[in-house]
C-alpha cells in the first residue's frame, strides 16, 4: 500500500539557513510522493516602512512604484525558490503570503493548504537576542497545530 501523500510546507526566506533546511528535508525525511509548498512570508509593512522611502514625497505614483518594485522582488524570489526545488528534485509549488509577521503567514498558509508538516530553519540566535527580537521558528512551534520540523543552524 502506497504512503498517503503529505503536503509539506517549507518556510523559505532565501537565506542560506533556509536553503540548507530545505536540502536537509529533501535528504532526510522527504517522501517521494510529498507535495512540497515553499512558502515565502512577506511582511506587509516591511516595504512600506523601509528607509529607502523616507525621502520620497508622498504621491499615488510613488506608492504605485514602491508596490510594483516589491511585487517584482517577490516574483524574483519565488522564481529562485522554484529553481532550488527543481535542483533538489522536489515536486510542488512556491507561493508568497502576506502577513504582519512571517510566523503568522507560515501558519496561515499551512492551515489553508491542509498541510501535514511544516519545515523551518532556525538561525540559532542566543536566548537574549531571541527574547528581544523574537523568532519565527519559535512562533511557528508555539502556534502550529501540526508537526513542525525545525532544522537547527548548520555551518
Domain count for the chain: 1
d(CA 25, CA 97): 21
d(CA 153, CA 106): 19
Report which of 85, 94, 86, 90 is spatially closest to residue 29, judged by C-alpha positions. Answer: 90
Q: What is the mean pLDDT of the chain?
A: 83
**Contacts made by residues 11-16, CB under 8 angstroms, sequence distance 24+:** 11/39, 11/41, 11/102, 11/106, 11/118, 11/119, 11/120, 11/121, 11/136, 11/140, 12/38, 12/39, 12/40, 12/81, 12/94, 13/40, 13/41, 13/102, 14/40, 14/77, 14/80, 14/81, 15/121, 15/123
Give residue 107's region: left, alpha or beta (phi > 0; psi -120 to 50): alpha
Q: Return the CATH number at 126.
A: 3.40.50.620
Domain that holds residue 54: 7-151
Give the mean pLDDT of 51-72: 70
Q: Give residue 131's pLDDT band: very low, low, confident or very high (50, 70, 90).
A: very low
Q: Is residue 1 part of a domain?
A: no
Q: Is residue 94 part of a domain?
A: yes
Q: Is residue 2 part of a domain?
A: no
Q: Is residue 72 part of a domain?
A: yes
Least confident interval from 5-14, 59-68, 75-84, 122-131: 122-131
Global pTM?
0.80
Give the mean pLDDT of 53-82: 78
- 6: cell is 503529505
d(CA 44, CA 50): 11
Amino acid at each position: 500500500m502506497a504512503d498517503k501523500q503529505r503536503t509539506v510546507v517549507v518556510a523559505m526566506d532565501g537565506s542560506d539557513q533556509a536553503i540548507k533546511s530545505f536540502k536537509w528535508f529533501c535528504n532526510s525525511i522527504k517522501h517521494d510522493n510529498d507535495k512540497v509548498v515553499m512558502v515565502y512570508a512577506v511582511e506587509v509593512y516591511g516595504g512600506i516602512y523601509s528607509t529607502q522611502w523616507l525621502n520620497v514625497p508622498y504621491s499615488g505614483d510613488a506608492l504605485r512604484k514602491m508596490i510594483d518594485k516589491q511585487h517584482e522582488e517577490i516574483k524574483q524570489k519565488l522564481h529562485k525558490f522554484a529553481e532550488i526545488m527543481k535542483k533538489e528534485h522536489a515536486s510542488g509549488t512556491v507561493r508568497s503570503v502576506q502577513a504582519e509577521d512571517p510566523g503568522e503567514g507560515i501558519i496561515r498558509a499551512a492551515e489553508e493548504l491542509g498541510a501535514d508538516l511544516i519545515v523551518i530553519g532556525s538561525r540559532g540566535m542566543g536566548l537574549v537576542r531571541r527574547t528581544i527580537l523574537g523568532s519565527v521558528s519559535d512562533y511557528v512551534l508555539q502556534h502550529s497545530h501540526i508537526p513542525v520540523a525545525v532544522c537547527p543552524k548548520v555551518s
